[in-house]
């Protein structure tokens, strides 16, 4: 089972795109996305220095654009990808690239969204001096308690021993003077407190623009970095892309979902290394063997394609013109709703049941409604993330 992951801001390094631009097709595609984003992505990925590509307004379009064009190098015929990829996901801004890869939005829509996201976050960051500090090691409960005690937010929870605290510079300074036992603090070179309430103005701006974005349901399951849930409704994917600007990233829960899915191979898109490094430690600590691949340069493409072939399997929710599938958002026990069970025709947005796990109770909706073709699970059945629950014929439901 293959998962493709897109990295977030901070993964970029000066010159990381240089070897890719020897390919004329790659360069032309990047130029097109540069025109959409209003930024010279080729210059940013080859000649720009570290301080330039650290700028939020540059870093975010650069990361998404690089991922989108590299994906076309990995899968020259995009339709082939849906017979290989079990799920896609992205850390922070990487979720925009993942959504485009799953065909929820177009590449052009992704670049407009990321351009506006980066600009709005840069403006929000300038309003108040804020920052982020990585907390490495220490007891998890003590780390989270100390972060909360100083009024900070655990903006990134990347797994055992890797939490990022975010807030004002004064709060971070006080936190540094009162660091949790056995924890190392590493201030991050970022413009502000991303994924916290400090970014609320950016959410408002991007949300207003997103109302004009048309979406499609994903061709491949998307693992949400908000809570690790499997998404199969394009409108929800877009809403979460907007909301995550000021919402913590729970990469630890994404990794948990990968385990629930039965992942055997995790491939990270360029600029790679950060997410596969976290994943290796996470899976090793769980005693699970998962092969990882960090795609960094074009001379790795043949090996990367072989990796995808070795681990690939078709998506369970690939779209079809004759029926729609409702799938489980998480691991747990499925309980069917009586109202849905008694009807042959379901209205859009009706709740068909819920999935109960040790963590929470998650309602499951039939986003588009339609005629019930067949139930694929019984009440009380254990389910895994992305497992098909109900097959519907997408016929219009009378008002």
Residue pLDDT, tens place only, 349-376: 899 999 999 888 999 999 888 899 999 9
What pLDDT score does 358 carry?
A: 84
Mean pLDDT over 94-103 rounds to 96
Which residues on adjacent β-strands are paired with residue 8?
Answer: none
pLDDT over threshold 70, residue 320: no
What pLDDT score does 318 carry?
A: 52
| 287, 311, 335 - which closes a domain | 311
Residues 175 and 215 in one domain: no
Catalytic residue among 92, 125, 224, 315: 92
Most confident residue range from 186-190, 205-209, 320-324 = 205-209
pLDDT tens profile 220-237? 999 999 999 999 899 999
Residues 170 and 229 in one domain: no
Residue 65 maps to a domain: yes
Gap between the Cα atoms of 93 and 60, Å rounded: 7
| Both tokens assigned to 155 | 């903006």
Evaluate whether 90 touches 66 at the Cβ level (below 8 Å): no
Residues 86 and 48 in one domain: yes
- How many domains does one find in the chain? 3
What pLDDT score does 328 carry?
A: 93
CATH number (domain holding residue 70): 3.40.366.10
Residue 216 appears among annotated catalytic residues: no
Evaluate whether 351 touches 389 at the Cβ level (below 8 Å): no
Mean pLDDT over 332-346 rounds to 90
If we measure between CA atoms, which residue out of 162, 153, 185, 388 comes closest to residue 254? 162
Instruction: Tell me, letter by letter, the H, E, C secondary structure of 61-78.
Output: HHHHHHHHHHHHHHCCCH
CA 384 to chain CA centroid, nearest Å: 19
CA atoms within 13 A on the CB side of 43: 7
pLDDT over threshold 90, residue 204: yes
Catalytic residue among 195, 198, 232, 368: 195
pLDDT over threshold 60, residue 317: no
Evaluate whether 368 touches 350 at the Cβ level (below 8 Å): no
Mean pLDDT over 36-45 rounds to 97
Residues 239 and 336 in one domain: no
What count of other Cβ atoms lies within 10 Å of the Cβ of residue 222?
28
Domain that holds residue 93: 2-124+197-311
CA 18-22-26 angle, to 5 degrees, is 90
Residues 303 and 338 in one domain: no
Residue 248 maps to a domain: yes
pLDDT over threshold 90, residue 68: yes
What pLDDT score does 322 carry?
A: 52
Residue 189 appears among annotated catalytic residues: no
pLDDT over threshold 50, residue 397: no
Residues 70 and 151 in one domain: no
Percent residues over pLDDT 90 in the chain: 83
What pLDDT score does 268 carry?
A: 98
Evaluate whether 45 touches 16 at the Cβ level (below 8 Å): yes
Q: Which residues contact 25 (CB under 8 A, 6 or more apart)?
A: none
Gap between the Cα atoms of 278 and 35, Å rounded: 34
pLDDT over threshold 80, residue 263: yes
Residue at token pair 């403006």: 123
Residue 38 maps to a domain: yes
| 249, 282, 311 - which closes a domain | 311
Residues 296 and 351 in one domain: no
Residues 361 and 287 in one domain: no
């Amino acid at each position: 089972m293959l998962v493709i992951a897109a990295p977030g801001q901070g993964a970029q390094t000066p010159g990381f795109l240089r070897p890719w631009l020897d390919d004329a097709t790659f360069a032309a595609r990047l130029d097109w996305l540069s025109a959409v984003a209003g930024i010279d992505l080729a210059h940013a990925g080859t000649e720009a220095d570290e301080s330039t590509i650290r700028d939020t307004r540059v870093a975010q379009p650069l990361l998404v654009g690089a991922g989108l064009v590299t994906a076309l190098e990995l899968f020259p015929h995009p339709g082939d990808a849906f017979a290989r990829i079990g799920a896609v996901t992205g850390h922070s801004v990487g979720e925009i690239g993942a959504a485009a890869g799953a065909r929820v939005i177009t590449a052009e829509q992704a670049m407009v969204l990321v351009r506006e996201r980066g600009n709005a976050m840069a403006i929000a960051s300038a309003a108040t001096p804020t920052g982020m500090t990585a907390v490495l090691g220490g007891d998890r409960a003590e780390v989270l308690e100390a972060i909360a005690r100083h009024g900070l937010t655990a903006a990134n929870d990347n797994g055992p021993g890797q939490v990022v605290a975010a807030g004002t510079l004064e709060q971070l300074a006080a936190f540094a003077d009162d660091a949790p036992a056995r924890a190392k603090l590493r201030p991050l070179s970022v413009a502000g407190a991303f994924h916290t309430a400090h970014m609320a103005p950016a959410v408002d701006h991007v949300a207003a623009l997103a109302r004009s974005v048309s979406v499609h349901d994903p061709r491949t399951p998307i693992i949400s970095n908000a809570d690790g849930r499997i998404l199969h409704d394009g409108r929800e994917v877009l809403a979460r892309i907007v909301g995550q600007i000021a919402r913590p990233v729970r990469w630890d829960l994404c990794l948990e979902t990968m385990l629930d899915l039965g992942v055997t191979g995790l491939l990270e898109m360029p600029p790679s290394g950060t997410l596969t490094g976290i994943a290796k430690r996470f899976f090793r600590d769980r005693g699970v063997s998962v092969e990882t691949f960090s795609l960094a340069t074009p001379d790795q493409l043949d090996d990367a394609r072989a990796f995808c072939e070795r681990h690939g399997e078709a998506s369970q929710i690939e779209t079809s013109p004759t029926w729609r599938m409702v799938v489980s958002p998480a691991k747990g026990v499925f309980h069917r709703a009586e109202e849905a069970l008694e009807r042959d025709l379901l209205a859009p947005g009706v709740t068909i049941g819920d999935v109960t796990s040790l963590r929470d109770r998650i309602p499951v909706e039939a986003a588009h409604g339609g005629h019930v073709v067949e139930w694929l699970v019984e009440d009380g059945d254990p389910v895994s993330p992305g497992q098909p629950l109900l097959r519907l014929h997408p016929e219009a439901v009378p008002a």
